[in-house]
Amino acid sequence: MKSFDVLIIGAGPGGYVAAEEAAQLGNSVAVIERNAVGGCCLNVGCIPSKAYLQYSRWLSAVQALNKNGISVAVNQIDFPSVVRRKNKIISTLQSGIHMTFKRNGIHYITGEAKHVEGKIFEVNGERYYGKHVLLATGGAPFIPDIPGLSDIDYLTTNTFFDMETLPNRLAIIGGGVIGVELAYAMKSFGTDVTIIEAAPDILLTVDPDARSIVKEKLQSMGIKIIVEASVQKVKKGSVLLSDEEIPFDRLLVATGRKQNLEIPMAMGLELDERKQFVKVNEYYETSMKNVYAVGDLIGGHTLAHAASAEGVKAVRAINGKKERPVSPYSIPRPLFIDPEVSEFGMSEEEARKKGYDVIVEKMPFSFNGRAICANETEGFVKIISETRYREILGAVIVGPDAADLIHQILAVREAEGTVDELANTVFAHPTVSELIQETAKRIMKHQ
Amino acid sequence: MATEILMPKLGLTMTEGTVEHWFVNEGDEVQAGDAVAEISSEKLTSEVVAPESGTIIKIVAQVGDVVPSKAPIAYIGKPGEQIGSPTPSAGAPEPKAVKTAAANEPAKTESKKKDDGERIFITPIARKMAKELGIDIRNVVGTGGNGRITRLDILRYQASMESPAKDRAPSASAVSYGAGLAGLRKTIAQRMMRSVQTTAQVTNHRKVDITELMKFRDEIKSKVKDPLVHNELSINTLLTKAVVLALKDTPDMNAWYHNGEYIRVEEVHIGMATAVEDGLVVPVIQNAHLMSLSQLGAAIKKVTTEARQGTLDGSLYSGSTFTITNLGGYEIEYFTPILNTPEVGILGVGAIQKELALEDGEVVEKLKLPLSLTYDHQIIDGAPAAEFLGKIADYLQDPYRLLL
Q: At residue A422, does pLDDT exceed 80? A: yes
DSSP state for residue A258 in the 8-state scheme: E
How confident is the model at residue B48, as a pLDDT?
A: 86
- Per CB-CB distance under 8 Å, the chain B contacts of A322 are 276-278
Q: On the CB side of A53, how many CA atoms lie within 13 Å of its CA?
A: 19
How confident is the model at residue B39, as a pLDDT?
A: 83
* CA B199/CA A112 separation, integer angstroms: 60
Confidence bin at B166 (pLDDT 50/70/90)? very low
Q: At residue A447, does pLDDT exceed 90? A: no
Axis crossing angle, helix A13-24 with helix A79-103, rounded to the nearest 10: 30
Domains of chain A from N-terminus onward: 2-141+258-328 (3.50.50.60), 149-255 (3.50.50.60), 339-444 (3.30.390.30)
The 10 Å Cβ neighbour count of residue A201 is 15
* CA B184/CA B206 separation, integer angstroms: 32
CA neighbor of A31 nearest in space, from A47, A15, A46: A15
pLDDT per position as a tens digit, A149-183: 999 999 999 999 999 999 999 999 999 999 999 99
> What is the average pLDDT across B256-269?
90
Query: Quick one: closest CA in A to B124, which residue?
Result: A417
pLDDT per position as a tens digit, A278-332: 999 999 999 999 999 999 999 999 999 999 999 999 999 999 999 999 999 999 9
Percentage of residues of chain A with pLDDT beyond 70 = 100
Q: Do B309 and A273 touch (CB under 8 A)?
A: no
pLDDT per position as a tens digit, A67-100: 999 999 999 999 999 999 999 999 999 999 999 9
Q: What distance lies between CA A191 and its chain's CA centroid?
A: 24
Nearest CB among B124, B229, B305 relative to A421 is that of B124
Q: Do B126 and A418 touch (CB under 8 A)?
A: no
The whole-angstrom distance between A414's CA and the closest CA on chain B is 10
Q: At residue B106, does pLDDT exceed 80? A: no
> What is the average pLDDT across B346-369?
93
Q: Do A273 and B229 touch (CB under 8 A)?
A: yes
Using a 10 angstrom Cβ sphere, with 0-12 exposed, 13-18 middle and 19 or more buried, the burial of residue A443 is buried
Catalytic member of B249, B381, B394, B398: B381
How confident is the model at residue A358, as a pLDDT?
A: 97
Confidence bin at A4 (pLDDT 50/70/90)? very high
User: How much is the mean pLDDT over chain A?
Assistant: 96
Q: At residue B261, does pLDDT exceed 60? A: yes
Residue partners of A370: CB distance under 8 A and separation at least 6: A430, A431, A432, A434
Confidence bin at B234 (pLDDT 50/70/90)? confident
The whole-angstrom distance between A107's CA and the closest CA on chain B is 30
User: From the candidates B123, B125, B311, B331, which should be mutated to test the interface with A, based on the most A CB atoms within 10 A?
Assistant: B125
Confidence bin at B67 (pLDDT 50/70/90)? confident
pLDDT per position as a tens digit, A220-262: 999 999 999 999 999 999 999 999 999 999 999 999 999 999 9
**A276 lies within 8 A of chain B by CB:** no
CA neighbor of A33 nearest in space, from A10, A55, A16, A1: A10
Helix (H, G, I), strand (E, B) or coil at B77: strand
How confident is the model at residue B163, as a pLDDT?
A: 55
How confident is the model at residue A250, as a pLDDT?
A: 97
Confidence bin at B168 (pLDDT 50/70/90)? very low
Domains of chain B from N-terminus onward: 3-115 (2.40.50.100), 124-190 (4.10.320.10), 200-403 (3.30.559.10)
pLDDT per position as a tens digit, B306-321: 998 888 888 888 889 9
Q: At residue B349, does pLDDT exceed 90? A: yes
How confident is the model at residue A428, as a pLDDT?
A: 97
How confident is the model at residue A298, as a pLDDT?
A: 97
Rounded to a whole number of angstroms, the distance between the first and last alpha carbons of chain A is: 67
Q: At residue B165, does pLDDT exceed 70? A: no
User: From the candidates B133, B155, B233, B277, which should be mutated to test the interface with A, based on the most A CB atoms within 10 A?
Assistant: B277
> What is the average pLDDT across A433-447?
94
Using a 10 angstrom Cβ sphere, with 0-12 exposed, 13-18 middle and 19 or more buried, the burial of residue A359 is buried
H or E element in which residue A435 lies: helix A434-444
User: How much is the mean pLDDT over chain B?
Assistant: 82
Q: At residue B116, does pLDDT exceed 70? A: no
How confident is the model at residue B11, as a pLDDT?
A: 67
Task: List beta partners, residue A426.
Answer: none
- Per CB-CB distance under 8 Å, the chain A contacts of B227 are 273-274
Nearest CB among A325, A388, A420 relative to B124 is that of A420
- Per CB-CB distance under 8 Å, the chain A contacts of B308 are 282, 324-325
How confident is the model at residue B2, as a pLDDT?
A: 81
How confident is the model at residue B172, as a pLDDT?
A: 41
- Per CB-CB distance under 8 Å, the chain B contacts of A416 are 123-126, 150-151
Q: At residue A360, does pLDDT exceed 60? A: yes
Q: At residue B286, does pLDDT exceed 80? A: yes
CA neighbor of A136 nearest in space, from A313, A281, A18, A305: A18
Q: Do A418 and B128 touch (CB under 8 A)?
A: yes
Using a 10 angstrom Cβ sphere, with 0-12 exposed, 13-18 middle and 19 or more buried, the burial of residue A363 is buried
Query: Quick one: closest CA in A to B226, which residue?
Result: A273
Confidence bin at B143 (pLDDT 50/70/90)? confident
B167 is catalytic: no
How confident is the model at residue A169, as a pLDDT?
A: 97
> What is the average pLDDT across B40-67?
82
> What is the average pLDDT across B324-346?
94
How confident is the model at residue B227, as a pLDDT?
A: 67
- Of A164-173, A386-395, B354-363, minimum mean pLDDT range: B354-363
Chain B positions with Cβ closer than 8 Å to A = 123-126, 128-129, 132, 150-151, 227-229, 276-278, 305, 308-311
Residue partners of B241: CB distance under 8 A and separation at least 6: B293, B296, B395, B402
How confident is the model at residue B97, as a pLDDT?
A: 36
* CA B114/CA B69 separation, integer angstroms: 15
* CA B46/CA B38 separation, integer angstroms: 6
* CA B206/CA B225 separation, integer angstroms: 36
* CA B215/CA B218 separation, integer angstroms: 5
User: From the candidates A319, A323, A389, A393, which should be mutated to test the interface with B, based on the most B CB atoms within 10 A?
Assistant: A389
pLDDT per position as a tens digit, A196-216: 999 999 999 999 999 999 999
How confident is the model at residue B218, as a pLDDT?
A: 87
- Per CB-CB distance under 8 Å, the chain A contacts of B229 are 273
Confidence bin at B162 (pLDDT 50/70/90)? low
Q: What are phi and psi of B144, to 5 degrees?
A: -80, -175
How confident is the model at residue B88, as a pLDDT?
A: 39
How confident is the model at residue A401, as a pLDDT?
A: 95
Residues 383-442 of chain A whose Cβ lies under 8 A from any Cβ of chain B: 388-389, 391, 415-418, 420-421
Helix (H, G, I), strand (E, B) or coil at A102: helix
